[in-house]
Structure 1
Amino acid sequence: MKKIYVIHENNEWTIHLQNRLDELQLPYEMWHLDEGVLDLSMPPPEGVFYNRISASSHTRDHRYAPEYTEAVLAWLERHGRTVINGSRALRLEVSKVNQYMALNAAGIETPKTIVAVGKSQIIEAAKSLNQNSFITKHNRAGKGQGVQLFHSISALSDYVNGADFDEPVDGITLIQQYIEAPMPYIIRHEFIGGKFLYAVKVDTSEGFELCPADACSIDDLFCPAPNESLNNSKVGGAKVEALSPKFEILQNYNPDFIATYEQFLADNNIQVAGIEAILDKAGNSYAYDVNTNTNYNSDAENAVDIYAMLHLAKYLATFL
């Protein structure tokens, strides 16, 4: 009998999907790929394989989960199995450089970004960016890992050469143009089956910890606290009172660029994703993150009675 196989490395991020699969009485099996053994001479089982491996796996002591998953995906694809978010999606998940190059190839604007390896090169890259304010982030990250906002080269130098420097797991630091939004929020666009489902407005007034999963609530131990340098910098000088929810699904939202986002996903064989974007003061949109291990916030969904994991479970069932 065919099954739905969920490839992952974090139980906290899969429980809601499991609940929906149970609700629909669908056959499934969870493959937790933080470690394992793979016999390449044996054929895979029949079914549909949904890849949910995250770029932040190393923060949960699953350092080689993406590499092992890449091997498993190569095996599955070699045997012609149906894979949702296959090897190309994984490649983009674990590298923001690959994300930006693919986004740009699709005609989607991203913040100006410089790649640096080595502490002295990070500082030189920031100088060449020639921006009063700029952001550093990890190339292979997740949950806002490594995101720091700086207003001077000297502040960056103190950080890079200090005890608190956060070394990227792949050694690659990105120095990026700081997009100053008129109000402190970003918009995360969710897609299932390559088609737009909904957009979530995310309040960034308390920092850029943007993981929407219930396991990533602000006072939960699964996610790091918001970065202090970002806490002290209100985007565009605006301050949002803590009256509105951090995650809010937008109604009647369908900008023209959604079709371009969908084409980008199709071109890169990505079926399930969240694309995060920010607007500058002139109204220009910049995409800055493609999350192929996208999660959803229950409170935001309950408020509008739409449930992405239910849509996802139904989508996976079409392949059985």
Structure 2
Amino acid sequence: MSKIYILHENDEWTDHLTERLEELDLPYELWHLDQGTLDLTSEPPEGIFYNRISASSHTRNHPYAPEFTEAVLAWLERHDRTIVNGSRALRLEVSKVNQYMALNQAGIRTPKTITAVGKENILDAARRLDMESFITKHNRAGKGQGVQLFHSTEALREYLDSDSFEDPVDGITLIQQYIEAPEPYIVRHEFVGGTFVYGVKVDTSEGFELCPADACSIEDLYCPTDAESQTPKAKFEVLENYRPSIVDDYERFLRENNIDVAGIEAIQDKEGRFYTYDVNTNTNYNSDAEAKAGTYGMLELAKYLGGLLQKSFV
């Protein structure tokens, strides 16, 4: 029987989707691709294949999940199976360099960035960037891993020489322009089927941990406001009546890169200019923010997958 196959490496991030698939009475099967075997001479089953592999898999001791998934996707694509977020999406998921080049190709502004491999080259890159404040981050990361803010190259040198320095899993560090927003938040733009669903405002006043999944934010759901307020401020807030013109650019970018499901993160500077700095093709949603807004990303995703499955029967 044809069904929906979910390619993943993190059980916690699939629960909300499978609950919605069951709610809609849609057949599905989970393929956990942390490890396994693949017979390249065999044929894949019929169905819809949804790739949910994350760039942060190595933080869960699944370092080779993206590579194994790339092999599985090549096999599926060879046999013309219907894939949601295929090999192109995976390539962008695991490399911010690839993301920025694709975004720039689509005419979308990204922060000025220099890549470096090796500690001395990281320091040299910061000098070349020549900015008072800058950020370092990992090329292949997730959940804000490796993100550090510096206000001088000397502070960067101290970090590089300390035990706190984290080697990127692929060896590539990005040294990036720091965008100072008038208020401490970014907006994550969610898309299903290449179509905009909603924007979620993410409070960044407590740092760079921006993963909206419930599993990421159990202890981080609320951040304190000023001392006079007794009401906690939600870290994630779905925005009402929000659709800036950049959303049209994002939808075009997704079409050009064969990406069906994504969360695209952007920040605005003091002049109101958008800078896009992350494309998450393994996107998650915050249930509390969605419940308050009455809109549900995983439900929209399950409906989308169900629609593709129905079309496959025709």
Shorter-chain TM range is: over 0.9
**Structure 1: distance between partners of 2:280 and 2:308:** 23
Alignment of 1:233-272 (within 5 A): 243-272=232-261
Which amino acid letter does the alignment assign opposite residue 131 of structure 1?
M
2:306 corresponds to 1:314: no
Q: Could you say what the CA RMSD is over the residues aligned between the two structures, in angstroms?
A: 1.7
Alignment of 1:121-132 (within 5 A): 121-132=121-132
Identity of aligned residues (%): 71
Match of 1:233 in 2: none
**Structure 2: distance between partners of 1:128 and 1:260:** 30
> Aligned-pair distance for 1:217?
1.1
Task: Tell me if the contact between 1:50 and 1:84 (Cα under 8 Å) persists in the aligned partners.
Answer: yes
**Structure 1: distance between partners of 2:75 and 2:308:** 19
Match of 1:138 in 2: 138
**Structure 1: distance between partners of 2:122 and 2:112:** 15
Task: Tell me if the contact between 1:205 and 1:239 (Cα under 8 Å) persists in the aligned partners.
Answer: no
> Aligned-pair distance for 1:243?
3.0
1:92 aligns to what SS in structure 2?
helix
Gaps of 5+ in 1: 221-225, 227-237
**Structure 2: distance between partners of 1:84 and 1:94:** 16
Match of 1:47 in 2: 47
Match of 1:85 in 2: 85
**Structure 1: distance between partners of 2:277 and 2:228:** 22
Deviates more, 1:210-219 or 1:181-190: 210-219
**Structure 2: distance between partners of 1:33 and 1:112:** 35
1:211-233, Cα deviation, whole Å (9 max, x unpaired): 0000011527xxxxx9xxxxxxx
Match of 1:102 in 2: 102
Match of 1:4 in 2: 4
Which amino acid letter does the alignment assign opposite residue 238 of structure 2?
I
1:117-152, Cα deviation, whole Å (9 max, x unpaired): 010000000000000000000000000000000011
Size of the aligned set, in residue pairs, is 305
> Aligned-pair distance for 1:45?
0.2
What TM-score comes out, normalization by structure 1 length? 0.93
**Structure 1: distance between partners of 2:86 and 2:228:** 39
Alignment of 1:150-229 (within 5 A): 150-217=150-217, 219=219
Match of 1:235 in 2: none
**Structure 2: distance between partners of 1:243 and 1:18:** 31
Q: Which runs of 4+ in 1 moved over 6 A?
A: 238-242
> Aligned-pair distance for 1:239?
11
**Structure 1: distance between partners of 2:193 and 2:23:** 20
> Aligned-pair distance for 1:56?
0.2
**Structure 2: distance between partners of 1:297 and 1:185:** 16
> Aligned-pair distance for 1:204?
0.3
Which amino acid letter does the alignment assign opposite residue 287 of structure 2?
S
2:265 aligns to what SS in structure 1?
strand
Which amino acid letter does the alignment assign opposite residue 301 of structure 2?
L
Task: Tell me if the contact between 1:139 and 1:172 (Cα under 8 Å) persists in the aligned partners.
Answer: yes
Match of 2:117 in 1: 117
Which amino acid letter does the alignment assign opposite residue 48 of structure 1?
I
1:83-125, Cα deviation, whole Å (9 max, x unpaired): 0000000000000000000000000000000000010000000
Task: Tell me if the contact between 1:205 and 1:240 (Cα under 8 Å) persists in the aligned partners.
Answer: no
**Structure 1: distance between partners of 2:158 and 2:39:** 49
1:145-193, Cα deviation, whole Å (9 max, x unpaired): 0000001111100111211110000000000000000000000000000
**Structure 1: distance between partners of 2:219 and 2:289:** 17
Match of 1:230 in 2: none
**Structure 2: distance between partners of 1:127 and 1:240:** 42
**Structure 2: distance between partners of 1:25 and 1:147:** 41
Aligned partner (choices 270, 278, 298) of residue 281 of structure 1:
270
> Aligned-pair distance for 1:318?
1.1
1:251-283, Cα deviation, whole Å (9 max, x unpaired): 001111111100000000000000000000000
> Aligned-pair distance for 1:22?
0.7
2:233 aligns to what SS in structure 1?
coil
Distance change >3 Å, CA 96–CA 47, structure 1 → 2: same
> Aligned-pair distance for 1:240?
12
